[in-house]
Amino acid sequence: MSEVVYDRREVKRSRYAVAAVFAVHGAVTGSFATRVPWIQDHASVSAGQLGLALAFPAIGASLAMPLAGSVSHRFGARTALRGLMALWTLSLVLPALAPNLLTLCLALFVYGATAGMADVAMNALGVEVENRLDKSIMSGLHGMWSAGALIGSAGGTLAAHLGTDARLHHALAALTLTVLGTVACQGVLDLRATEDEEAPPRFALPPRSALLIGAIGFCAVFAEGASLDWSAVYLRDVIGTSAGLAAACTTAFTLTMAVARLAGDAVVDRFGPVRTVRVSGLLATAGALLVVLAQNAVLAMTGFALLGLGIAVVVPLCFAAAGRSGPNPAQAIAGVATITYTSGLIAPSAIGTVADATSLVTSFVLVTVLAFGLAAFAGVLRTSGRTSNAQLPGARGEVSDAKVPDSRP
């Protein structure tokens, strides 16, 4: 196939298109999370059974993520992303339809598998656009995901308040988000494989570089998962605050992360990823330590805010580093994504297990140690730098300052 040359304006438009895709992806997650209680009641499962079922999205994502590279190679980046996003948005309807535990587990497995493949495809395209623009955009893209999740959560909260059947709510949300996702995907770069380009393996283990980068992401996502799921409990049980103030802490933590990610690209461009993560890790460590030592709500909430601020840009930078770490970016990104998904899965239960054996305060000592790991091992994110013709797997192209006609066959 012929190469496609893109001018800088087209690459910039693709940046906004990918940002919209990230927002749609986040909105699906937010829409689902708010209706979990309804889904639990509809499927007639206990709390323990629900916990088992909620492990299946991560299992599905972990198994499906390595397939995303071969899908992009076969169909082209734009077509692959459009198809994977449609599968992801439409899968939103499945959990609410499940009448029992078995069908709920199967529905959540499909939900997670489609989420994971779409996640890898959109992050790979985000890294490609970042390389072509030669400036950081990944933090902002993940900020758009957080913004989309907040919007989806707000819609779900309203639907739950009105007593709307989740099957109807999710059907309407899936239809709307599928349309929005399809429109957004039209604006991304249509990168394709050349005839002589070797197809990536259908399923392959991540390279060693991705494992090292993924370790940094593991620490950040563990701290994020622990804070999201346990901050309200911490304020209520350890600090002794009201339920309303405890819930507000979780909301504030989420907003802090979203704002920091939206503003993070300017910081990364000025100081570079390694220095940014080192300082972020120290900030997160100080926040976690403040949580451990806090004797009142103000100090605890300040600690969680600093923790959110410190870990906000780490995962986007891990994806960006993975995309520049070797000849197969999608494979590396899939490896990092799998590790971070796994961290998000085990963090809440690990915190609970340590808390049962010792105390919740001791659990956040573990978070403090992992947060310091960000600062200690930030050098793993050092790469050779962006290149204007960095390649998405199965893609060829370059950026020109002059407009060149599309030469696709």
Tokens 């080192």 identify what position? 278
Buried b (16+ CB within 10 A) or exposed e, 70-94: bbbbebbbbebbbbbbbbbbbbbbb
> Alpha carbon of 282 to those of 238, 260, 327, 343: distances in Å?
24, 15, 32, 20
Do the bridges between strand 4-7 and strand 397-400 make them parallel or antiparallel, or are there none, so unpaired? parallel
Name all domains of the chain by residue range, CATH numbers in brackets. 1-190 (1.20.1250.20), 206-383 (1.20.1250.20)
Three-class SS state of 6? strand
Q: Which class for 356: exposed (0-12), middle (13-18), buried (19 or more C-beta within 10 A)? A: exposed
Tokens 């593991």 identify what position? 218
Q: Which residues have a Cβ under 8 Å from the Cβ of 10 and sit 6 or more positions away?
A: 189
> Alpha carbon of 320 to those of 220, 295, 325: distances in Å?
15, 39, 9
pLDDT of 205: 60
Within 13 A of 33's CA, how many CA atoms are on the CB side?
15
Which residue, 163, 352, 344, 153, is CA-closest to 255? 153
Q: Are the CB atoms for 114 and 88 separated by under 8 Å?
A: yes
> Alpha carbon of 106 to those of 102, 111, 178, 268, 346: distances in Å?
6, 9, 21, 40, 20
pLDDT tens per residue across span 33-54: 888 889 999 999 887 788 788 8
Compute the distance between CA of residue 263 and CA of residue 274 in angstroms, rounded to an integer.
Answer: 17
pLDDT of 4: 55
Report the length, in residues, of the chain: 409
Residue 239 DSSP one-character state: I
Report which residue type is found at 407: S
Q: Which residues have a Cβ under 8 Å from the Cβ of 226 and sit 6 or more positions away?
A: 347, 348, 350, 351, 363, 364, 367
Q: Which residues have a Cβ under 8 Å from the Cβ of 98 and sit 6 or more positions away?
A: 39, 42, 43, 104, 106, 107
Q: Which residues have a Cβ under 8 Å from the Cβ of 247 and sit 6 or more positions away?
A: 232
Give me the tens of pLDDT residue by residue for the chain, a chain 409 residues long.
Answer: 334 556 778 888 899 999 999 999 999 988 998 888 899 999 998 877 887 888 888 889 888 888 887 888 788 889 999 999 999 999 999 999 999 999 999 999 999 999 999 998 999 899 889 888 888 999 999 999 989 988 888 898 888 888 899 999 999 999 999 999 999 999 998 877 665 556 555 555 666 777 889 999 999 999 988 888 788 888 888 999 887 788 788 778 878 888 899 899 999 999 999 999 999 999 999 999 999 999 999 999 999 999 999 999 999 999 888 888 766 777 788 888 888 888 887 887 788 888 888 899 999 999 999 999 999 999 988 764 444 333 444 344 444 443 333 333 3
